[in-house]
């Protein structure tokens, strides 16, 4: 999976699976643009892998347009977009506030849409391009206590399918990776009890393989979906969940 000289945008690239994805693309020779709100962390990762940084909020459509325009100005093309930016609220539907609901939808759904729309407008004239969105096993299975997150990832799944069908004959491939339990800052965020090795072990025991994924294991699948190795794949939702959804 050689991305030598390819222009790649990774949203949420400052931490977790987004960071792992940016690092894997950099190892494969790509020119990376990390998009994130956490400027300090984004610049640290970028310095380590030789990436560019765009600091801002993907829920703002004008910012997403600028990110793509900047990439085109610098590299003359956009080859890959990875939408890894996302947030979670650990609350039941009843407990979720209007503000929490709107923010999760703004980042996870609108942010993914705005970045896809901007990227498609750039890729379509090229006749070539790949987009990989981050869905989740919870986008199809559902889970108690994360209602807004489940709804948002379900929307990402169907957005991925719809855009893939719209652009199947334009040379664009649009797929989604759907991770299970991955050891990331998001997995550990907003817990009602301290995050201890014992808590992480209990989470791991819910997985058929008996362990949490390393972010790099998800990143490798992202690279595959973005590569020519996946040339006959579009509109696919690829589970990477150690068998969680197979039960």
Let me know if residue 206 belongs to a domain: no
> Under DSSP, is residue 196 helix (H, G, I), strand (E, B) or coil?
coil
Q: Is the pLDDT of residue 142 over 90?
A: no
Average pLDDT over residues 180-188: 84
Q: What is the DSSP letter of 214?
A: P
Let me know if residue 59 belongs to a domain: yes
From CA 213, how far away is CA 181, in angstroms rounded? 6
Let me know if residue 218 belongs to a domain: yes
Burial (0-12, 13-18, 19+ Cβ within 10 Å), 206:
exposed
**What pLDDT is recorded for position 189?**
67
Let me know if residue 200 belongs to a domain: no
Return the beta strands (E) in the chain as ranges. Answer: 7-11, 31-36, 52-55, 80-83, 129-134, 172-179, 237-240
Whether residue 149 lies in the annotated active site: yes
Domain of 113, in residue numbers:
7-184+214-240
From CA 90, how far away is CA 192, in angstroms rounded? 9
Indicate the Cα dihedral angle 87, 92, 94, 98, nearest 10°. 0
From CA 175, how far away is CA 130, in angstroms rounded? 8
Average pLDDT over residues 194-218: 91
From CA 230, how far away is CA 177, in angstroms rounded? 13
N-terminal to C-terminal alpha carbon distance within the chain: 32
Here the CATH number for the domain that contains residue 91 is 3.40.50.720
Q: What is the DSSP letter of 212?
A: P
Let me know if residue 34 belongs to a domain: yes
Let me know if residue 246 belongs to a domain: no
How confident is the prediction for the chain on average, in pLDDT? 96
From CA 187, how far away is CA 142, in angstroms rounded? 16
pLDDT confidence band for 185 (50 / 70 / 90): confident
From CA 162, how far away is CA 157, in angstroms rounded? 9
**What pLDDT is recorded for position 191?**
61
Average pLDDT over residues 17-27: 98
Which residue of the set 108, 146, 149, 212 is catalytic?
A: 149
Residue/partner pairs of 219-222 with CB below 8 Å, 24 or more apart = 219/17, 219/20, 219/21, 219/23, 219/24, 220/24, 221/177, 222/17, 222/21, 222/24, 222/82, 222/132, 222/177
pTM (predicted TM-score): 0.95
From CA 25, how far away is CA 51, in angstroms rounded? 10
**What pLDDT is recorded for position 187?**
75
Look at the chain and report how many structural domains it folds into. 1
Let me know if residue 198 belongs to a domain: no
Let me know if residue 208 belongs to a domain: no
- Residue 238: phi and psi, rounded to 5, are -100, 110
């Amino acid at each position: 999976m050689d991305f030598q000289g390819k222009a790649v945008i990774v949203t949420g690239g400052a931490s977790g699976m987004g960071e792992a994805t940016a690092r894997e693309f950099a190892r494969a020779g790509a020119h990376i643009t990390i998009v994130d709100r956490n400027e300090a962390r984004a610049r640290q990762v970028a310095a380590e892998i030789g990436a560019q940084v765009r600091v801002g909020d993907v829920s703002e459509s004008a910012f997403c347009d600028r990110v793509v325009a900047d990439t085109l100005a610098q590299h003359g093309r956009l080859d890959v977009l990875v939408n890894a930016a996302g947030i979670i609220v650990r609350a039941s539907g009843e407990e979720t506030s209007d503000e929490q609901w709107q923010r999760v939808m703004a980042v996870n759904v609108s942010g993914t849409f705005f970045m896809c729309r901007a990227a498609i407008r750039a890729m379509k004239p090229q006749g070539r391009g790949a987009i990989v969105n981050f869905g989740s096993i919870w986008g199809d299975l559902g889970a108690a206590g994360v209602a807004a997150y489940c709804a948002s990832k379900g929307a990402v799944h169907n957005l991925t399918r719809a855009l893939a069908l719209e652009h199947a004959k334009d040379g664009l491939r649009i797929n989604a990776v759907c991770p299970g339990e991955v050891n990331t800052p998001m997995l550990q965020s907003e817990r009602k009890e301290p995050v201890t090795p014992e808590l992480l072990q209990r989470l791991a025991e819910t997985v058929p393989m008996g362990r949490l994924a390393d972010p790099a294991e998800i990143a490798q699948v992202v690279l595959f979906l973005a590569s020519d190795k996946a040339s006959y794949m579009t509109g696919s939702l690829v589970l990477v969940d150690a068998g969680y959804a197979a039960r």
